Structure 1
Amino acid sequence: MNKRTGVIAGAATAAIVGAAVLLPNAHASTDRPAAPRTLSSHAATQLAAALKADLGDRTAGWYLDGANGHLVVNVLSQDAADSVTAKGAVAKVVHNSLTALKAGTKTLRDTASVPGTAWSIDPKTNKIVVTADRTVTGAKMARLTKATAGMGAGMVTVQRSQGVFQRYDGGYAGGMAGGSAGSGGGADAGGSAGSSAGASAGGSAGSGAGQSDGGAGQSGSAGQNGGAGQGNGGQTGGEQTGGGAGQNGGGGQGGGNAAGPIGGSAIFGGNARCSLGFNVTVKGAPAFLTAGHCGNDSKTWSADQGGQPLGTVTTSQFPKTDFALVTYNDPGAKPQSAVDLGNGSTQQITKAAEAAVGMKVQRSGSTSGLHDGTVTGLDATVNYGNGDIVNGLIQTDVCAEPGDSGGSMFSGDAAVGLTSGGSGDCKSGGQTFFQPVTAALQATGAEIGAGNGNGTGGGNGTGGGNGAGGGNGAGGGDAGASTGGAGSSGAGTQDPGSTAGAGTQDPGTGGQDPGTGAQAPGAGSGGDPGSGSGTSPN
Structure 2
Amino acid sequence: MRITSKIAAVAAAAALVVTASPAGADPSATPAAPAPPAAQPAAAQALPALADALAPQLTSLVEALRRDLGLTPEQFLAQAGIGERLAEARPHWEQRFRDAFGGVWLDDEGTGLVGVVAGPAGDRLRSEATEAGFTVQDVALTTAELGARERQVRTVVEGMPEDLQELVTAVRVDPTRNAVVVTTRGGEAAQLGNLDARLRDLAEIDMIEAPDPRWDTAPFGSEGGGQSEGTPTVDGLEPSTTRTGAATGERLDAQSAPGSGTGGPGSLGSLGLLNDAGLIPEGPLRTVVDLLAGLTPGTGSIIDGMNETVPAQATPVPEDRRRAIQSVPAPAGPVVGGTAYQVRVPDGVLECSTGFNGELDGKPVVVTAAHCAGADGTRAALADGEEFGTMTGTQREGIDTALIAVDEDAADRFRTNLVGAGDGSTQAIVGTAAPVVGQKACKTGFRTGFSCGTISQVGAQIDVAGTRTIEGAFTVDLCALPGDSGGVVFSGDRALGISSASNVADTGTCANADTVSRAAGFTPRLSAVPIADVLAAHPGLTLRTN
TM-score range, shorter chain: 0.5 to 0.7
Which residue number in structure 2 is paired with residue 433 of structure 1?
527
Shift of 1:150: 4.0
Distance in 2 (alpha carbons) for counterparts of 1:298 and 1:160: 41
In structure 2, the CA distance between the partners of 1:407 and 1:85, relative to structure 1 (3 Å rule), is same
Question: 1:137 and 1:385, CA in 2 relative to 1: closer, same or farther beyond 3 A?
Answer: farther
Q: 1:66 to 1:301 in 2, by over 3 A?
A: farther
1:373-429 CA-partner distances (Å, limit 9, x unpaired): 010111112222335232211022111112211211111211101112121252233
Is 1:263 the counterpart of 2:357? The answer is no
1:103 maps onto 2:215 in alignment: no
Q: Distance in 2 between matches of 1:269 and 1:103?
A: 46
Which of these residues, 369, 388, 391, is aligned with residue 291 of structure 1? 369
Q: By how many angstroms is 1:98 displaced?
A: 1.7
Q: Which residue of 1 aligns with 2:174?
A: 122
TM value normalised by structure 1:
0.55
| Preserved CA contact (<8 Å) 2:100 2:116 | yes
Q: 1:371 to 1:157 in 2, by over 3 A?
A: same
- Offset, 1:149: 5.4
Asked if 2 retains the 8 angstrom alpha-carbon contact of 1:290 and 1:324, the reply is: yes
Distance in structure 2 (CA, Å) of the matches to 1:154 and 1:361: 31
Counterpart amino acid of 1:196? A
The answer to whether the Cα contact below 8 Å between 2:421 and 2:446 also exists between their aligned partners in 1 is no
Counterpart in the other structure of 2:326: 198
Task: State which of 375, 378, 398 in structure 1 corresponds to 2:478.
Answer: 398
Match of 2:350 in 1: 272
Which letter does structure 2 place at the counterpart of 1:379?
Answer: G
User: CA offset at residue 296 of structure 1?
Assistant: 4.8
Whole-angstrom CA distance in 1 between matches of 2:357 and 2:497: 13
- Any gaps of 5 or more consecutive residues in structure 2? 1-77, 159-164, 210-294, 515-523
Indicate how the Cα distance of structure 1 residues 338 and 159 shifts in structure 2: closer, same or farther if over 3 A, else same.
Answer: farther
CA distance in structure 1 between the aligned counterparts of 2:96 and 2:168, rounded to whole angstroms: 39
The CA deviation at 1:104 is: 4.3
**Higher mean Cα deviation, 90-99 or 105-114?**
105-114
Matched-pair contact (CA < 8 Å) for 1:170–1:273: no
Q: Secondary structure at the match of 1:56?
A: coil
Q: 2:466 aligns to what?
A: 386
Question: In terms of Rg, which structure is larger?
Answer: 1
With 312-321 and 412-421 compared, the bigger mean Cα shift is at 312-321
**Aligned partner letter, 2:203:** M
User: Aligned partners of 1:285, 1:104: CA distance in 2, in Å?
Assistant: 46
Q: Hey, what's the Cα distance between the residues in 1 that align with 2:171 and 2:474? A: 10
What's the CA shift for 1:137? 5.9
**In the TM superposition, what is the alpha-carbon distance from 1:108 to its structure 2 partner?**
6.1
Amino acid at match of 2:115: N
Q: d(CA) in 1 for partners of 2:99 and 2:453?
A: 30
Structure 2 counterpart of 1:362 = 442
Alignment match, 2:289: none
Q: What's the CA shift for 1:264? A: 4.5
Question: d(CA) in 1 for partners of 2:167 and 2:352?
Answer: 23
Residues 94 and 299 of structure 1: CA distance in aligned 2, closer, same or farther (over 3 Å): farther
* Alignment pair present for 1:346 and 2:426: yes
Which deviates more, 47-56 or 318-327? 47-56
> Could you tell me which residue of structure 2 aligns to residue 13 of structure 1?
none
Which residue in 2 is equivalent to 1:157? Answer: 205
Mapped contact 1:72–1:91 kept (Cα < 8 A): yes
Map 1:134-283 → 2, pairs under 5 A: 150-160=198-208, 164=301, 171-172=316-317, 195-199=323-327, 217-218=329-330, 221=331, 224=332, 258-270=333-345, 271-283=349-361
Residue 311 in structure 1 maps to residue 389 in structure 2: yes
How far apart are the structure 2 equivalents of 1:450 and 1:88?
Answer: 30
Question: Which residue does the alignment assign to 1:28?
Answer: none
Q: Counterpart amino acid of 2:326?
A: G
The CA distance in 2 between the partners of 1:321 and 1:396, in whole Å, is 17
Match of residue 139 from structure 2: 94
What stretches of structure 1 of length at least 5 have no aligned partner?
A: 1-36, 176-193, 200-215, 225-257, 453-538
Which residue identity lines up with residue 158 of structure 1 in the other structure? D
Measure, in 2, the Cα distance between the counterparts of 1:106 and 1:374.
Answer: 26
Q: Is the 8 A contact 1:261 1:303 kept in 2?
A: no
SS in 2 for 1:117: strand
Query: Can you list the C-alpha shifts for 1:239-293, whole angstroms capped at 9, x where unaligned?
Result: xxxxxxxxxxxxxxxxxxx523533434334232122121111121111111232
Q: Secondary structure at the match of 1:198?
A: helix
Structural RMSD (CA): 3.7
Aligned to 1:65: 107
Take 1:293 and 1:148, find their aligned partners in 2: how far apart are those partners?
37
Inter-CA distance 381–107: structure 2 relative to 1 (3 Å threshold) = farther
Tell me the distance in 2 between the aligned counterparts of 1:109 and 1:279: 39
Q: Say which SS state the counterpart of residue 148 (structure 2) adopts.
A: helix
Question: What is the distance in 1 between the residues matched to 2:545 and 2:115?
Answer: 41
State the partner residue of 1:411: 491
Residue 196 to residue 372, structure 1, CA distance change in 2 (3 Å): same
Alpha-carbon contact 1:263-1:338 (below 8 Å) kept: no
CA distance in 1, matches of 2:388, 2:168: 34
Distance between the aligned counterparts of 1:376 and 1:450, measured in 2?
27
Matched AA of 1:124: T
8 A contact 2:376–2:394 mirrored in 1: no
Superposed CA deviations along residues 180-227 of structure 1, whole A, max 9, x for unmatched, are xxxxxxxxxxxxxx953335xxxxxxxxxxxxxxxx623xx2xx2xxx
Q: One-letter code of the match for 2:325? A: A
3-state SS of paired residue (1:439) = helix
CA 87–412 in structure 1, closer or farther in 2 if over 3 Å, else same: closer
Matches within 5 A, 1:466-505: none
Measure how far apart 1:341 and its partner are.
3.2
8 Å Cα contact 1:269/1:298 also seen in 2: no
2-structure distance, mates of 1:264, 1:414? 18
Q: One-letter code of the match for 2:134? A: A
Structure 2 length-normalised TM: 0.54
One-letter amino acid of the structure 2 residue matched with residue 129 of structure 1: V
1:117 and 1:383 in contact (8 A); partners too: no
Q: Give the deviation of 1:317 after TM superposition.
A: 2.2
Give the whole-Å Cα distance in 2 for the aligned partners of 1:198 and 1:446: 35
- Alpha-carbon distance between aligned partners in 2 of 1:174 and 1:126, rounded to the nearest angstrom: 50
What code does the residue aligned with 1:322 have? D
AA aligned to 2:538 is T
Distance 2:167 2:405 in 1: 33
Once the two structures are superposed, residues 40-95 of structure 1 have per-residue CA deviations (whole angstroms, 9 ceiling, x without a partner) of: 3223333444433542342121101341x432111222441533335432222222
- Structure 1 residues 171 and 160, CA, compared in 2 at 3 Å: closer, same or farther? farther
> Which residue number corresponds to residue 215 of structure 2?
none
- Change in 2 beyond 3 A, CA 1:45/1:382: closer
Q: 1:442 aligns with which of 533, 536, 541?
A: 536
1:364 deviation in Å? 0.7
Match of 1:51 among 68, 93, 96: 93
CA drift at 1:360: 0.8
Match of 2:378 in 1: 300
Q: Distance in 2 between matches of 1:146 and 1:290?
A: 44
Shift of 1:313: 2.5
3-state secondary structure, aligned to 2:503: strand
Describe the shift of the 1:338–1:330 C-alpha distance in structure 2 as closer, same or farther (beyond 3 A): same
What is the CA–CA distance in structure 2 between the aligned matches of 1:348 and 1:359, rounded to whole Å? 19
